[in-house]
Amino acid sequence: MASFITKLVTGILPLFGGTSPEQSNGKLIDYQGLPDILEDTSLVRRFAWDSISYNGDTVNQQPPETGVTRKYDFHVTRAQLAPDGYLRDMIVVNGQFPGPLIEANWGDWVEVTVTSNITGPDEGTTIHWHGLLQKGTPFYDGVPGISQCPIAPRESFTYRFRADHVGTSFYHSHYSAQINAGVVGPIVFHGPKSQKWDYDVGPVLVTDWFHKEYFRIVQGVVGSGTDRRPAFSDNNLINGKMNFDCSLADRDRPCVSNAGVSKFRLKPGKDNLLRIINGGSAGLQYFSVDEHEMTVISVDFVPIQPYRTNFITLGAGQRSDVIIHGKRGKLANRAYWMRSNISTMCALPRQPYGLAALYYSEEDAKMEIKPSSHPQQYNITRLGCNNEPLTVTKPLHRKPVQKPHRTITINVQDTLNATGSDEYLMNNQTFRVNYNAPILKAVTEGNASQPYEPLWNAYETGSGKRVIRIVWENQKVDPTNPNFYNVTFAHPMHLHGHDFQVLAAGAGSWDGSVATNALRRDTHILPPNGHLVVQFETDNPGVWPFHCHVAWHASAGLSISILERLSDVVRIPGTAHVMSQTCEAWDAWSKDNIVEQIDSGLRVMQKD
């Protein structure tokens, strides 16, 4: 395989031309050239964007009232596509992979009507809007068994939520490991800029790619004994494209080796903004652009003090906005490689290298000139399975680290359960949901009281606005446990409903020290045999999962549920009504159909 990639980057192998955009992605995927702000001539009063700033402190900063609602229609269906030339069964939004871009201005409302048309075999779905707070709308967070019932086959559900941040994110199915089947697409919220740029190149969505269907992978991950199979990825895509060495593919599957890579166009001599998103299932990505430095200006939805670098790290669920200063003259008459490499230390990639071609002119892109640029040199081994040190990524707008009202320590163990299946334990308890009885529904109906269902893995914050600190400890080795599964993984931990402060992250146990000017974001890596310490204010009543964004780890139960200010949750208007929309249809459907829940349900599957 290495030789295939070598031949590709040195131009020996054909780069383009094997498949049409329709065959690869359902349509030509092009998110490029975004505006600074969406102009709405219909608005009675144009918003004075220049007069406000966005400081990424969502606890203290409210989004502006724009009076705009943006509507989208999503149809989730099965499709056969060949993103990297290898034809596979997928589940996609509106027939395309990656899905359509959701765009709004800060403060707008967004309405997405999702129709679940996954048939043959039938399957439910939900869509989660990653990194959004859902303040006052916890029932639109899109997590089955927590904030809603799955949308039953042939049913629709309308999500309505606020564009409560400025920056880059993505949406994805939260139903079983369906994200891996292709239900994923970018989100961009425009608003006040923390730094200036000239041209918005748009989303660069990186996804590790698996040729096996997701439920087969989940079967392998949670299977016992000889049925247990580690989840190897086959390829690495940028905006849904990459070439593949078809000599490695199953013979009975159509495959072309030169499906083609994504093309990006930068403006010469200008500051170009790239919105990098890791929307993959597992791998930690190292992103770089040959012969170009990047200035990183935000992580997740939070503006940071700009810093220059030749590469960035992105765990699954993480984003970074970077500015690349365009070359001019002769140097702009060349093509360059954009690269995203999956770490081989903390994931299982068969082919870790993702490539895209970067051009400075429409003509070069049309002529499909092959890049012949030199890769960035950086030391992956030194970094390990971590994000950048917290001394590198500092928020632009400082927020003090308060003394916590409550500290919750959570010890994560990867183990084998009684039937020999891989299972994650948090403080000796795994996680699993009931699709027919979401936690938020139980809370709203008054059916949730102490002691909670152990499989909820519930942690209550108490009432009122408080500061909660969570200390994650990864796999403290227990020599007395013969089932201890001694493989260490990095876990990109994602909290719904909040941006947390990252107080500490690193190897071994936490020594109690706290980063100065602590980073804020919604996903951060808990390193192997290490710790991650975060805290947040309980300003958002709801039921919020705090889970690993590696799909297979979430399937194996790596999740806890934050029950935030339950006495206020029951007062949120509309909860019972909205919950009943999906739950009545799902109850009816699941009565006549067997739902075989083989995983935690943050991610389940159906019998086929």
Q: Output the smallest distance, CB 553 to Cu ion, in A.
A: 3
Q: Which residues pair with 460 in a beta bridge?
A: 563
Q: How many CB atoms lie within 10 A of CB 47?
A: 20
Q: Is 204 or 221 the residue whose CB approaches Cu ion more closely?
A: 221
User: What x/- string results for residues 478 through 497 when contact with Cu ion is judged by CB under 5 A?
Assistant: -------------x------
Answer yes or no whether residue 550 interacts with Cu ion by CB under 5 A: yes
**Residue 213 structure tokens:** 């269907």
Taking the complex as a whole, the smallest distance from the CB of residue 558 to Cu ion amounts, in Å, to 5
Nearer to Cu ion, 165 or 553 (CB): 553
Beta carbon nearer to Cu ion, 107 or 315: 315
What's the longest Cα–Cα distance across the chain? 69
Check binding of 282 to Cu ion (CB under 5 A): no
Based on CB atoms, which residue is closest to Cu ion, 114 or 177? 177
157: exposed, middle or buried (C-beta count within 10 Å: 0-12, 13-18, 19+)? Answer: buried
Which residue in 369, 384, 336 sits closest to 16, CA to CA? 369
Closer to Cu ion by Cβ: residue 94 or 488: 488
- CB closer to Cu ion out of 238 and 554: 554
Burial 337-365 (b: 16+ CB within 10 A, else e): bbbbbbbeebbbbebbbbbbbbbbbeebb
Give Cα separations from 513 to 506, 520, 532 (angstroms): 11, 17, 12
Shortest CB 548 distance to Cu ion, Å: 3
- Edge-to-edge strand ranges of the sheet holding 109-117: 88-93, 69-81, 109-117, 155-162
Cα–Cα nearest to 161, from 600, 536, 542: 542
Q: Nearest distance from residue 428's CB to Cu ion, in Å?
A: 18
Rounded Cα–Cα distance for residues 571 and 86 (Å): 50
- Our CB check for Cu ion shows the closer of 130 and 553 to be 553
Please identify, using beta-carbon distances, which residue of 190 and 491 lies nearer to Cu ion: 491
Q: Residue 274, interface with Cu ion (CB under 5 A)?
A: no
> Can you name the residues that pair with 136 across neighbouring β-strands?
none
Cβ density class 508-547: b for 16+ within 10 Å, e for less:
eebeeeebebbbbbbbbbbbbebbbbbbbbbbbbbbbbbb
CB of 134 to Cu ion, least distance (A): 23
DSSP designation for 247: G
Binding mask 575-594 for Cu ion (x = CB under 5 A): --------------------
Write each residue from 506 to 545 as x if it is in contact with Cu ion (CB under 5 A), else as -, in one continuous string. Answer: ----------------------------------------
**In whole angstroms, what is the distance from residue 176 CA to residue 601 CA?**
6
What is the size of the binding site for Cu ion (CB under 5 A)?
Answer: 4
CB of 220 to Cu ion, least distance (A): 16
> At its nearest, how many Å lie between Cu ion and the CB of residue 242?
24
Task: Report the alpha-carbon distance of residue 587 to residue 254 in Å, rounded.
Answer: 39
Q: Which stretch binds Cu ion (CB under 5 A): 255-263, 502-510, 548-556, 598-606?
A: 548-556
The least distance separating Cu ion from the CB of residue 339, rounded to whole angstroms, comes to 24
The least distance separating Cu ion from the CB of residue 483, rounded to whole angstroms, comes to: 18
Name residues whose C-beta falls within 8 Å of residue 100's C-beta, 6 or more positions apart in sequence: 72, 74, 93, 94, 185
Nearer to Cu ion, 132 or 551 (CB): 551
**Rounded to the nearest whole angstrom, what is the least distance from the CB of residue 414 to Cu ion in the complex?**
9
- How many residues make up the chain in this entry? 608
Answer whether 119's CB lies under 8 Å from 154's CB.
yes
DSSP helix, strand, coil percent of the chain (3-state; round to 5): 15, 35, 50
Which one, of 219, 168, 178, lies nearest residue 54 by Cα? Answer: 168
Q: How far is the CB of 491 from Cu ion (least distance, A)?
A: 3
Q: Which of 553, 561, 565, 578 binds Cu ion (CB under 5 A)?
A: 553
- Taking the complex as a whole, the smallest distance from the CB of residue 493 to Cu ion amounts, in Å, to 8
Closer Cβ to Cu ion, 84 or 473, answer by number: 473
Q: Is 548 among the residues that bind Cu ion (CB under 5 A)?
A: yes
The piece of 303-311, 338-346, 364-372, 552-560 that touches Cu ion (CB under 5 A) is: 552-560
Site string for Cu ion, 89-128 (x = CB under 5 A): ----------------------------------------
Residue 357 or 550 having the CB closest to Cu ion = 550
End-to-end CA distance of the chain: 33
Nearer to Cu ion, 546 or 589 (CB): 546
Chain Cα centroid distance, residue 521: 13
Token digits for 430? 């795994």
Token pair 């056969």: residue: 80
Q: Which stretch binds Cu ion (CB under 5 A): 107-115, 400-408, 441-449, 549-557?
A: 549-557
Q: Nearer to Cu ion by C-beta: 61 or 488?
A: 488
Q: Minimum CB separation from Cu ion for residue 173, in Å?
A: 18
Cα angle vertex 315, ends 525, 604, to 5°?
A: 95
List the one residue out of 205, 207, 209, 206 whose CA is nearest residue 188. 205
Residue number with CB closer to Cu ion (325 or 491):
491
| Residue whose CB is less far from Cu ion, 108 or 208 | 208
Q: Round the CA-based radius of gyration of the chain to a whole number and report it.
A: 23
Stretch that binds Cu ion, among 79-87, 386-394, 547-555, 588-596 (CB under 5 A): 547-555
In whole angstroms, how close is the CB of 550 to Cu ion at the nearest point? 4
Q: How far apart are CA 532 and CA 510, in angstroms?
A: 8
Q: Does the bond joining 451 to the residue before it have cis omega, within 30 degrees of 0? A: yes
Asked if 174 interacts with Cu ion (CB under 5 A), we say no
Q: How far apart are CA 280 and CA 266, in angstroms?
A: 25
Strands 167-173 and 285-289: unpaired
Shortest reach from residue 300's CB to Cu ion, in Å:
17
Tell me the sheet residues that pair with 336. Answer: 358
| Residues forming the site for Cu ion (CB under 5 A) | 491, 548, 550, 553
